[in-house]
A and B are shown apart, each in its own frame.
Chain A
């Protein structure tokens, strides 16, 4: 709880994102009857948690000054590998664990490439993403109609605890844990320090290489897990299920007020960003736009949203933070 409060205090931009989400929600409610219905809200929460899991690792990686472009392929991997393992008769719980652990290891490969071999994050993670895709294609894991999803995945994706979807509950718990880790542990501090200024962090005794490696590993694991629940929801696992989530994972954290350059932001912000993004996704189609206009509107709203929620850094933005940034120039 303290983590959440600290996040709220620390980040006015998160408040901006929450406001943005609220506006979208109100517009939806006014425009369409049933938008605020329990069913729809539950549905939205499930979708938002997909984005939330995809963006979990991404947030850590970006806070640490990196970027993980392998997210969508690891999502596809999580779904397909699980389906294949279960089709082969493996215990379903064990299969989920295997998928997540392999995701973690793939993430670790990203981390090693970036920290030990000094490959640029974009290049490294894109390359690894390509390798994951190649693995799925080459090993012949794919069925033309999509692979059937085991019951555990669809159970998690569709189950409910009372009125609340299971996925949303899991997400809430994970979000609280991540918030505490970021705000209240040495590792959390180290992530922020590494992302803001690598040299300062190293000279202050932080093992920035290890910190980065862990963020990439977490990202791999979180993406694979996202793949499990997303495929469970869809009911089929195929190569393209991860594709929408590359953009979404980055957009959510940026809307939530994180700096894409690292060092600033919170997972709480990303959660709000994921909700805002999901609202937007479900709202726009209600306006009966043709596909082209829909894409344009989507892009524009996100740009405006990001501009409104992140005013820091330009020195010309509004709000106290921007003024402070200018004051710092004084003297």
Chain B
């Protein structure tokens, strides 16, 4: 199965350490025998990878396989214990972000690294600001930034806007432009598309291809196999810190890749569903949030998984947050199980049985230094109070049970959640939402940046909950999940529901969601159709 890359050394005539970077005949990024341990935790056990300049190379693996550590070493953020990284035949000195950047490595990290209080332009040209006598020339800065954005076809980002005011997707796009602007020799995209709508994703992938065409080695990290097939020339699969599969995407089918990633087979990603009941648990009629959302009609039945579809940023987030009590409805009628429900705070929503899994687990979901136990019980503390004190035995029992339900590894109840992999962290957020069986579960992109195995676990868990009568509102940036997991999808555009697609009626598919989302965008100025 494992195909060891022999082609990498093919063009090796006249290789020498004295050769300049451009003239270097070994036109590739070579990683050999990389090892790294954090304490007793051996994360990398001899990773090999060869990515030629001018190609897109996909790097696959489940959460915890070592991808993030590998690219941290590439980016100079972390220093390896053993092994080498060389670029065009030249060894990269280990450790040191500046050295890595000088050698031409640019990493778009999953954790976004823009400075929130600076503008888009200031971030783009950070430490390269045009200046006059030491004073930043504001207008020139704006112009240069606008030029950069235009060059990469991202003119919808306004150079004058503060990064803090951008949404997650826009920040991600900014990160990509920032990396592209440096004209890197090695560009690493670490799950750069996971927060993006399909239009934005295809922009990123397209830019990756173009960078490769300009002679860059693009390392693409993604959980979406479709993307790998679309743009990658070669791929490397990591599992438990070693390279387990190398080759061209067309040599393997999806099953093979997934099996290699997990070391086991995933029978099915989407679980079988029981049909939803008739009782309506949530009904929104003419709901409004501020200027941008509504009027909006929405209904979720007991046991139903109702999807919110459409392009990114069409009001799905606002709907979820208003239902969760994180923002207030400014108009309309909202009922939960027939009773009027206008929560002023998340606390009220939680007491009414509505729990919310927010978009960004690191910033909105978890107390990172705290244990699984503390994190999972956090929103249910009121139910654990006995005579003024927390009943810690009951807490431990319930936390252990709910951690078991979500499939968290046993014996990690007291581990700080920062020590868990991304997938397990997501399960902790879910555990909190399930602590007391919710009437309504609101899921905001809960599968973002999560490996296939964990995804299957999460879907099975949510389906099981729905089978017991919980109404689920599910938003995902991944169309296939909406199409295959939901009973019904409300397609949103510009803050309104533009259509309803029922799985039972056979109307629900990725294509029908996209068509509905796009036809209602056609009149809009921001041309969002997938880039050619």
- A interface residues (Cβ-Cβ under 8 A, vs B): 180, 184-186, 189-190, 192-193, 196-197, 199-207, 263-264, 323-331
**Contact (A328, B346) CB under 8 Å given A196-B369, A204-B379:** no
Whether the Cβ atoms of B388 and A204 lie closer than 8 Å is: no
Whether the Cβ atoms of A203 and B369 lie closer than 8 Å is: no
Whether the Cβ atoms of B421 and A197 lie closer than 8 Å is: no
Enumerate B363-410 residues with CB–CB distance to A below 8 Å. Answer: 363-370, 374, 378-379, 381-382, 384-385, 388-390, 392
| Residues in A whose Cβ lies below 8 Å from that of B104 | none
Whether the Cβ atoms of A324 and B66 lie closer than 8 Å is: no
**Contact (A327, B38) CB under 8 Å given A186-B382, A196-B369:** yes
Q: Does B413 contact A (CB under 8 A)?
A: no
| Residues in B whose Cβ lies below 8 Å from that of A192 | 367, 370
The smallest beta-carbon distance between B79 and chain A, in angstroms, is 12
Whether the Cβ atoms of A202 and B326 lie closer than 8 Å is: yes
**Contact (A202, B39) CB under 8 Å given A184-B389, A196-B370, A331-B68:** no
Whether the Cβ atoms of A328 and B419 lie closer than 8 Å is: yes
For this complex, 14 residue pairs linking A to B, each with C-beta atoms less than 8 Å apart, are A186-B384, A189-B374, A197-B368, A199-B363, A200-B363, A201-B378, A203-B364, A205-B379, A324-B416, A329-B69, A330-B66, A331-B63, A331-B65, A331-B67
Point out which of B324, B379, B384 has the most chain A C-beta atoms below 10 A from its C-beta.
Answer: B379
The smallest beta-carbon distance between B380 and chain A, in angstroms, is 8
Point out which of A193, A201, A204, A329 has the most chain B C-beta atoms below 10 A from its C-beta.
Answer: A204
Chain A, Cβ-Cβ closest to B78? A329
Q: Does B121 contact A (CB under 8 A)?
A: no
B 65-87 binary contact with A (CB < 8 Å = 1; else 0):
11111001000001000000000
Point out which of A205, A207, A263, A323 has the most chain B C-beta atoms below 10 A from its C-beta.
Answer: A205
Chain B, Cβ-Cβ closest to A2? B392
* 14 new A-B contacts at CB < 8 Å, known A185-B389, A326-B39: A184-B392, A189-B381, A200-B366, A205-B347, A205-B351, A207-B345, A326-B38, A328-B416, A329-B69, A331-B63, A331-B64, A331-B65, A331-B67, A331-B422
| Residues in B whose Cβ lies below 8 Å from that of A196 | 367-370
Whole-angstrom distance between the alpha carbons of A324 and B358 in the complex?
26
Whether the Cβ atoms of A203 and B390 lie closer than 8 Å is: no
The smallest beta-carbon distance between B102 and chain A, in angstroms, is 24
Whole-angstrom distance between the alpha carbons of A197 and B65 in the complex?
28
The smallest beta-carbon distance between A330 and chain B, in angstroms, is 4
| Residues in B whose Cβ lies below 8 Å from that of A200 | 363-367, 378
| Residues in A whose Cβ lies below 8 Å from that of B369 | 196, 263-264
Whether the Cβ atoms of A199 and B364 lie closer than 8 Å is: yes
| Residues in A whose Cβ lies below 8 Å from that of B68 | 329-331
The smallest beta-carbon distance between B180 and chain A, in angstroms, is 26
Categorize the interface residue count of chain B.
35 or more
**Contact (A205, B43) CB under 8 Å given A184-B392, A200-B367, A327-B38:** no
Chain A, Cβ-Cβ closest to B381? A186
**Contact (A324, B367) CB under 8 Å given A186-B381, A189-B374, A189-B378:** no
Q: Does B350 contact A (CB under 8 A)?
A: yes
| Residues in A whose Cβ lies below 8 Å from that of B367 | 192-193, 196-197, 200, 263
The smallest beta-carbon distance between B449 and chain A, in angstroms, is 12
| Residues in A whose Cβ lies below 8 Å from that of B43 | 330-331
Whether the Cβ atoms of B370 and A331 lie closer than 8 Å is: no
The smallest beta-carbon distance between A91 and chain B, in angstroms, is 32
| Residues in A whose Cβ lies below 8 Å from that of B379 | 204-205
Whether the Cβ atoms of A205 and B419 lie closer than 8 Å is: no
The smallest beta-carbon distance between A99 and chain B, in angstroms, is 28
Whole-angstrom distance between the alpha carbons of A199 and B381 in the complex?
17
Contact among A180, A203, A324, A327 for B346, CB-based, below 8 A: A203
Whole-angstrom distance between the alpha carbons of A197 and B416 in the complex?
15
Whether the Cβ atoms of B38 and A203 lie closer than 8 Å is: no
Whole-angstrom distance between the alpha carbons of A20 and B103 in the complex?
46
The smallest beta-carbon distance between B14 and chain A, in angstroms, is 40
Closest 4 CB pairs of A and B: A328-B418, A205-B347, A204-B379, A327-B38
Whether the Cβ atoms of B345 and A205 lie closer than 8 Å is: yes
| Residues in B whose Cβ lies below 8 Å from that of A327 | 38-39, 41, 419
Q: Does B57 contact A (CB under 8 A)?
A: no
The smallest beta-carbon distance between A290 and chain B, in angstroms, is 43
Whole-angstrom distance between the alpha carbons of A199 and B64 in the complex?
27
| Residues in A whose Cβ lies below 8 Å from that of B347 | 205-207
| Residues in B whose Cβ lies below 8 Å from that of A263 | 367, 369
Whole-angstrom distance between the alpha carbons of A180 and B392 in the complex?
13
Q: Does B52 contact A (CB under 8 A)?
A: no
B 13-52 binary contact with A (CB < 8 Å = 1; else 0):
0000000000000000000000000110101000000000
Q: Does B203 contact A (CB under 8 A)?
A: no
Whether the Cβ atoms of B378 and A331 lie closer than 8 Å is: no
Whether the Cβ atoms of A329 and B38 lie closer than 8 Å is: yes
Point out which of A186, A189, A192, A330 has the most chain B C-beta atoms below 10 A from its C-beta.
Answer: A330
The smallest beta-carbon distance between B237 and chain A, in angstroms, is 16
| Residues in B whose Cβ lies below 8 Å from that of A206 | 347, 378
The smallest beta-carbon distance between B429 and chain A, in angstroms, is 9
Chain B, Cβ-Cβ closest to A325? B418
Whether the Cβ atoms of A186 and B363 lie closer than 8 Å is: no
Whole-angstrom distance between the alpha carbons of A201 and B364 in the complex?
8
**Contact (A193, B392) CB under 8 Å given A202-B326, A203-B356, A328-B418:** no
Whole-angstrom distance between the alpha carbons of A202 and B348 in the complex?
11
Whether the Cβ atoms of B346 and A204 lie closer than 8 Å is: yes
Q: Does B234 contact A (CB under 8 A)?
A: no
Q: Does B432 contact A (CB under 8 A)?
A: yes
Chain A, Cβ-Cβ closest to B390? A184
Whether the Cβ atoms of B388 and A185 lie closer than 8 Å is: yes
The smallest beta-carbon distance between A182 and chain B, in angstroms, is 11
Chain B, Cβ-Cβ closest to A188? B390
| Residues in B whose Cβ lies below 8 Å from that of A324 | 39, 416, 419
| Residues in A whose Cβ lies below 8 Å from that of B64 | 330-331
Whole-angstrom distance between the alpha carbons of A269 and B345 in the complex?
34
Whether the Cβ atoms of B390 and A186 lie closer than 8 Å is: yes
Whole-angstrom distance between the alpha carbons of A14 and B301 in the complex?
52
